[in-house]
Structure 1
């Protein structure tokens, strides 16, 4: 393969990328087939190659996978598939990554395994004897697989609100939605304009004002949903993102189904009892399946937990997240953003690449076996 061209005055960095899956974009291939990005196409691409216009404004899962494959070829990335990283340790001159395919060493290591790597399902009392299947939304490949079923969907974050709309569209027999914390739901295109770009200027104003503005947009778009069983959120979206790491929910049909009575909001799950789910208010439901949209863990403890770089939630701490120039250990993609994570990834990547290039001009930052 010929060397990758680079701009004059810039030092090329040719990293080795370790991919646990069998091919590029494995995590995207495991997502449900109804998925479409809720960030607009031109804010979802990677540097140097745009997502083609034929993918539409809201890119479908398979089109995004195709884009990732083309980007890998375009950028001539050195990806080693089928290699799972187990542990990262400091060694003389840099770091050692222990994998199931041997050891790799490098002056710099960038951890980019994603904030949603390990699905999280609550350990409800009575779960061991529960007589119905419990699945995380991450395992659902097609909403149509649950057509005709009575479904209890637990969790009202962005993934829960999104999949609820798909489930009703797919023809589930009954859909209950159990929520602990009511979400802030915003339209994907308020006033016909894509939402995510509109949030960028809000970064310049104080958080309370941002929260008031977004609440006003939500109320103007959907009105008061309390009459339909959806309480008003107790926190503004920016405050909740800062304190809990939970971003807004984007409406893709959910609100219309809710107001039409095609789904029902219920309170939190208290315990499981044989074939029944018992809610906190004593209500008993008998679903065919419980679908958990209850979030993810980053799964970083085994990899870097011994290095003192994680916070109490198992995510890179503020002191470590993305900026460790003195040690050469970097993290990317672990901080949520109202404007969408796909826009932030290239920004974080450029910062890390610039810091590596400026601070280590005499060192080879790539991994070697």
Structure 2
């Protein structure tokens, strides 16, 4: 196969970082994006969203996030930054192109898209690990009288002002949106928890903890977990009396074994202690206008908002290639090839910040692709 442009799937942070790294390595790349602009998933999130990673550790190589964006960058400022990055690097991005399937081809890969087929010796999938919202199929859900929606569909917390909301989930998305819902003036907020989360403060005494998390990577997992638990206890005290006992796993062990990241507090714990939200049991099912919790308690919310996670949605694209594990995540470590010439960037979360890892993964892939092409015999 004559080497053409490397095909990069997705124009979010991971995809743009990859295209730019390939460009620096002297390798031509084309980015295929199904949306009509970069950072499509970011554009669709609620307007109050901010990064949990500090500004100066969240950008891409060669272009800093502006100081005017503040310490914790807003959704709109981050989208504008990624758009500016793509334009400043003159990356070749084709919008409105949906990648449907990747198949093996002689000497490389065939990529089937809504705009036809492409072939390349290297394909980098960078669509993101949180591309598809996942909503559990609770018994009786289809007969519930009110809306049941994933948090990804919520555009503004203020849209739920004056309503009784059952928020299902206690991960980072739930902890983050809960504070916005209280501040927006919901009439009541119940938070349904199955597994108690590891909650860490974003700042302590005005100092951001993100850099500390990054520096702690050299420490053993047990030491990191013990340190995180101590920080949580120092910041929040014992939350057992509020319905949140100590989690069975520390944050780093849980990330390694389940892929679930830590929840970063942005006011959640303060609202919990002040009684502005209530922790309740996991959802067992729906019964008419009521939600039935484990243990038998019944609630009558106006809206059920599910912060129940996301899926990568990689199965239709590459599931037939044997490169995914049982959870739908690609085999191999960050920036490694799941199969010769087939790479994945942005699918390994990290407590110290997933965005921070994208440039490093992209650079690793770019070096490997450039090296492979130098060694390949001339067509």
- Normalising TM by the smaller chain, what interval? over 0.9
Distance in structure 1 (CA, Å) of the matches to 2:174 and 2:349: 17
Distance in structure 2 (CA, Å) of the matches to 1:317 and 1:163: 32
Normalising to structure 2: TM-score of the pair? 0.91
Number of residue pairs matched by the alignment: 356
Matched with 2:162 is 148
8 Å contact 1:325–1:355 — kept in the other structure? no
Matched with 2:70 is 56
1:290 paired to 2:304: yes
**Deviation (angstroms), 1:112:** 0.4
Distance in structure 1 (CA, Å) of the matches to 2:332 and 2:29: 25
1:147-296 matches, within 5 Å, as: 147-296=161-310
Unaligned runs of 5+ in 2: 1-19
1:57-107, CA deviations, whole angstroms, 9 ceiling, x for partnerless residues?
111111111101100111110000000000000101211110111011111
1:54-203 matches, within 5 Å, as: 54-203=68-217
1:91-147, CA deviations, whole angstroms, 9 ceiling, x for partnerless residues?
012111101110111110000010001100111011121111100000001000000
Matched with 2:371 is 358
**Deviation (angstroms), 1:362:** 5.9
1:349 paired to 2:362: yes
8 Å contact 2:332–2:338 — kept in the other structure? no
8 Å contact 1:325–1:359 — kept in the other structure? no
Matched with 2:16 is none
Distance in structure 2 (CA, Å) of the matches to 1:72 and 1:152: 39
**Deviation (angstroms), 1:326:** 6.5
**Deviation (angstroms), 1:318:** 2.7
Distance in structure 2 (CA, Å) of the matches to 1:223 and 1:11: 50
Distance in structure 2 (CA, Å) of the matches to 1:237 and 1:325: 27
Cα gap change, 1:247/1:268 in structure 2, threshold over 3 Å: closer, same or farther?
A: same
Unaligned runs of 5+ in 1: 1-5, 365-369
Matched with 2:12 is none
- Give 3-state SS (helix, strand or coil) of 2:189's partner: strand
8 Å contact 2:323–2:331 — kept in the other structure? yes
Normalising to structure 1: TM-score of the pair? 0.94
Matched with 2:47 is 33
Cα gap change, 1:363/1:141 in structure 2, threshold over 3 Å: closer, same or farther?
A: farther
Distance in structure 1 (CA, Å) of the matches to 2:213 and 2:72: 17
8 Å contact 1:33–1:61 — kept in the other structure? yes
Distance in structure 2 (CA, Å) of the matches to 1:256 and 1:11: 48
Runs ≥4 in structure 1, deviation > 2 angstroms? none
1:164-209, CA deviations, whole angstroms, 9 ceiling, x for partnerless residues?
0000000000000001111111110123221111012221121111
